[in-house]
Structure formats: structure tokens, C-alpha cells
Amino acid sequence: MDMKPWRERVREEDQLLEQLQSLVSDSAKRRAAALAEGVAELGSVYKVAGDIGKSWTAVDNAIKKHATKKGPAGTGPTTTA
């Protein structure tokens, strides 16, 4: 049985790890969006947490950590009085 050289195996595993990390990151963002939708529907992080059997801190942290980032303060539309 011919084995690939170790350098090639390491490169392949590095590529696989990068792909997996990207998939995990994308999944976490989608999950955070779904949790935020649940908060909008049920009215609170506490209710969402109770509904899915997670702690409220886990739900809150997931939303905060992976929610879509908005632009820096002061970059949105302005109003003039």
C-alpha cells in the first residue's frame, strides 16, 4: 500500500480544516439569525431559550457573537432638524 508523503497529507488536512471552519462559521451565523428571528417572534431571549431547551446566556451570546455586523457608528443616514 502506497502512502502519500507526510507533507502532502498535512496540506490536504489543512485544506479540509479550512473548509470545515468556514462551514462552522457560516452555520453559526445562520443559527444566530434564526435565534434572533425567534426573539422577534416570541419577544425575549428567555422565551426562546426555554422553547429550545438552552440557557438564556447561550442564546444571547450566540446572537451577539454571530449576528450580522452593522457598519461603524455614524455611517448610517443622518437627519437634519
DSSP assignments along 10-54, one per residue: HHHHHHHHHHHHHHHHHHHHHHHHHHHHHHHHHSSHHHHHHHHT-
Q: Is the dihedral of CA 19, 20, 25, 29 positive or negative?
A: positive
- Tens of pLDDT, residues 2-43: 789 999 999 999 999 999 999 999 999 999 999 999 999 999
Place of cell 455611517: 75
Rounded to two decimals, what is the model's pTM? 0.73
Q: How many CB atoms lie within 10 A of CB 29?
A: 15
Mean pLDDT of 46-63: 97
Query: Could you tell me if residue 54 is left (phi over 0), alpha (psi between -120 and 50 degrees) or otherwise beta?
Result: beta
Amino acid 67: pLDDT: 76
Amino acid 79: pLDDT: 43
pLDDT category, 68, cuts 50, 70, 90?
low
Q: Where are the domains of the chain?
A: 31-66
